[in-house]
């Protein structure tokens, strides 16, 4: 382990849109009171409820057309290694008191001084020395601030504590063995004296788990596996002779949410593995493809809701779990709202995980005829079957059928891409993928061969993007804007009436939060797959995006993207 410090100056004082604020330790109390400092972006999803809404309002529908580049800062993290030809940024920056903290795909953490309105200076960078040749996919989606530390994760399963002021790496804890497929790609959630940490690596055969760690020492407090072992509740839904539970997946690769009233943290779990071959692991495969609520203190599973039982379409549900208090039918309800990868928005009762309503947001959905309005399950779902027969065919006969054309794409409509809720409009926003995919099971690719995928998948048409506004109280789609390219960056809503997203060709969009009309756009000239963020310094609001990333295989239907250069940059916009 090593760290590199390129500048010793730490930003200790920043004049903001609400006055002057001294840098202070980050605690749960501070995170709960995030609305008192809207100039900052204190944690990866903005708040515990994963609403991703900025309460800043200097940039509005009327003046966003005047948005210009304030500065561009070149960053590292573009060079690949091992299986990865290139890397970049999937992370949401954290901004506190005039300083930005963000990791690249190789888990190198950067602190950027934002005090100068004309340039961003890299104050320090901490390089944990990740072995690039051993990394399967170079992904890192953010950091967590705790007291005066930056807490980050690595692809080889470590949690790191770095001094925010100096960039000195002071602690490293190995959570699990990467030889078992275990990886960490998302920042933990700070709750009281604990870091709640979701493990990744399901596609490599990891039996994924969520952990509660002591926030100061990293010592384990509790651990809960997604997939139950024989004899545990839910194990009866793994009806195989392959011991599939030992490598069953159910990964967590996006940070969850927190409901302080019930002391509950809610996370989305990934797909079962091998992902395309349910005959290897017949049954509903609990607790994969689910929203799962855990007790913060003990790790006890309080409830779950599984979206696609017996999944063979890779519709994992790791995406944002939005905690919303809304009115439904004239009654106040405490809900959990989630853009499912399978093409539907779901609203659940967050006390018990019971289904309330759903609505289709993706344009192309062919795998099911719809969602049962009573149960929230696909209409074709039959709990008596070990292998589900959805609209596109029977899992048991897929090998004989050859390819299945699947919509949405296996990447989903909305994947891990963060979603947003605006308390101004009462709408939720999801940006993602529009398109279909050919899918074929292959038994030779199950059982630990070729990343536990159990088959092959390839886009069968040009992949587009969309950003959709949905009403979580009814499940109704209110407005939508189609994009020329998919959006991997997710969404940021603001109190100025503007919603921001980017598409993978590097275009940054500002849209009207009601109509989804494009109000402004700017092309950065390179790949973009990181969520936009807004903050204020010296009384001025900015919007920032990070660029750089991988051109994935699904882009094969966009040949003009093949020559795009990978540049890792911080691009900051202001009026």
The pLDDT score that the predictor gives to residue 495 is: 98
CATH of domain 13-574: 2.140.10.10
Residues 316 and 333 sit within 8 Å (Cβ to Cβ): no
Beta strands, E only, 175-216 = 189-191, 194-198, 209-214
Instruction: Report DSSP letters for 2-52, one per residue.
Output: --B-S------EEEETTEEEE---B-HHHHHTGGG-TT-B-STTSSTT---
Position 552 scores a pLDDT of: 61
Taking alpha carbons only, the member of 108, 112, 105 closest to residue 1 is: 108
With residue 29 as reference, give the H or E element that holds it: helix 28-32
DSSP letter assigned to residue 459:
E
Per-residue model confidence (pLDDT) at position 454: 76
Whole-angstrom Cα distance, residue 284 to residue 278? 9
Give the whole-angstrom CA distance, residue 423 versus residue 411. Answer: 29
| pTM for this model (two decimals) | 0.93
Q: Which of 388, 376, 401 is nearest to 281 (CA)?
A: 388
Nearest to 110 by CA among 98, 99, 97, 96: 99
3-class secondary-structure state, position 458: strand
Question: What tens-digit pLDDT sequence spans the chain (575 residues)?
Answer: 433 333 322 222 233 333 333 468 999 999 999 999 999 999 999 999 999 999 999 999 999 999 999 999 999 877 655 555 567 899 999 999 999 999 998 899 999 999 999 999 999 999 998 877 767 677 899 999 999 999 999 999 999 999 999 999 999 999 999 888 899 999 999 999 999 999 998 888 889 999 999 999 999 999 999 999 999 999 999 999 999 999 889 999 999 999 999 999 999 999 999 988 898 999 999 999 999 999 999 999 999 999 999 999 999 999 999 999 999 999 999 999 999 999 999 999 999 999 999 999 999 999 999 999 999 999 999 999 999 989 987 665 555 556 788 999 988 899 999 999 999 999 999 999 999 988 887 777 776 655 677 777 888 889 999 999 999 999 999 999 999 999 999 999 999 999 999 999 999 999 999 999 999 999 999 999 999 999 999 999 999 999 998 766 456 678 888 778 889 999 999 99
What is the reported pLDDT for 11?
29
Q: Cβ(106)–Cβ(77) under 8 Å?
A: yes
From 300, 207, 298, select the one nearest 252 (Cα to Cα).
207
């Amino acid at each position: 382990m090593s760290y590199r410090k390129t500048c010793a100056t730490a930003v200790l004082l920043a004049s903001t849109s609400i006055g002057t604020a001294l840098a202070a330790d980050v605690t749960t109390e501070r995170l709960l009171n995030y609305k008192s400092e809207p100039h900052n972006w204190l944690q990866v999803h903005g708040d515990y409820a994963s609403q991703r809404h900025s309460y800043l309002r200097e940039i509005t529908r009327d003046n966003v057309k005047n948005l210009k580049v304030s500065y561009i800062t070149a960053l590292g993290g573009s060079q690949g290694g091992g299986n990865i030809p290139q890397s970049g940024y999937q992370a949401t920056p954290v901004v506190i008191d005039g300083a930005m903290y963000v990791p690249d795909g190789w888990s190198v953490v950067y602190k950027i001084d934002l005090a100068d309105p004309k340039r961003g200076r890299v104050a320090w960078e901490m390089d944990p020395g990740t072995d690039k040749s051993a990394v399967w996919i170079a992904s890192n989606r953010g950091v967590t601030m705790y007291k005066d530390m930056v807490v980050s994760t690595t692809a080889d399963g470590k949690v790191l504590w770095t001094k925010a002021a100096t960039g000195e790496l002071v602690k490293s804890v190995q959570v699990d063995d990467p030889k078992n497929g275990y990886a960490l790609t998302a920042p933990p959630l700070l709750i009281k004296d604990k870091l709640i940490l979701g493990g990744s690596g399901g596609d490599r055969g990891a039996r994924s788990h969520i952990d509660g760690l002591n926030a100061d020492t990293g010592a384990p407090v509790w651990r809960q596996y997604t997939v139950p072992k024989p004899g545990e509740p839910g194990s009866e839904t793994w009806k195989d002779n392959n011991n599939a539970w030992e490598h069953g997946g159910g990964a967590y690769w996006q940070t969850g949410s927190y409901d302080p009233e019930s002391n509950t943290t809610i996370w989305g779990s990934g797909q079962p593995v091998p992902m395309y071959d349910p005959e290897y692991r017949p049954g509903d495969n609990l607790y994969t493809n689910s929203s799962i609520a855990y007790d913060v203190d003990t790790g006890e599973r309080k409830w779950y809701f599984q979206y696609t039982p017996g999944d063979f379409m890779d519709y994992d549900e790791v995406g944002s779990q939005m905690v919303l208090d809304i009115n439904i039918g004239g009654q106040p309800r405490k809900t959990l709202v989630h853009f499912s990868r399978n093409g539907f928005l779901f609203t659940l009762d967050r006390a018990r995980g019971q289904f309330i309503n759903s609505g289709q947001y993706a344009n192309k959905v062919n795998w099911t005829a719809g969602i049962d309005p009573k149960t929230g399950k696909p209409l074709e779902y039959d709990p008596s079957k070990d292998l589900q027969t959805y609209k596109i065919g029977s899992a048991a006969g897929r090998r004989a059928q050859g390819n299945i054309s699947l919509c949405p794409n296996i990447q989903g409509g909305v994947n891990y891409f963060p979603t947003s809720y605006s308390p101004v409009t009462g709408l939720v926003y999801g940006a993602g993928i529009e398109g279909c995919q050919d899918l074929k099971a292959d038994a030779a690719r199950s059982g630990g061969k070729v990343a536990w995928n159990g088959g092959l998948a390839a886009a069968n048409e040009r992949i587009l993007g969309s950003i959709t506004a949905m009403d979580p109280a009814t499940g109704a789609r209110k407005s939508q804007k189609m994009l020329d390219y998919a959006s991997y960056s997710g969404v940021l809503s603001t109190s100025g009436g503007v919603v921001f997203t980017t598409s993978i060709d590097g275009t940054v969009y500002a849209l009207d939060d009601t109509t989804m009309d494009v109000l402004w756009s700017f092309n950065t000239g390179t790949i973009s797959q990181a969520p936009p963020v807004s903050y204020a310094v010296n009384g001025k609001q900015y919007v920032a995006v990070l660029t750089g990333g991988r051109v994935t295989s699904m882009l094969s239907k966009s040949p003009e993207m093949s020559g795009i250069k990978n540049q890792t940059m911080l691009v900051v916009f202001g009026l």
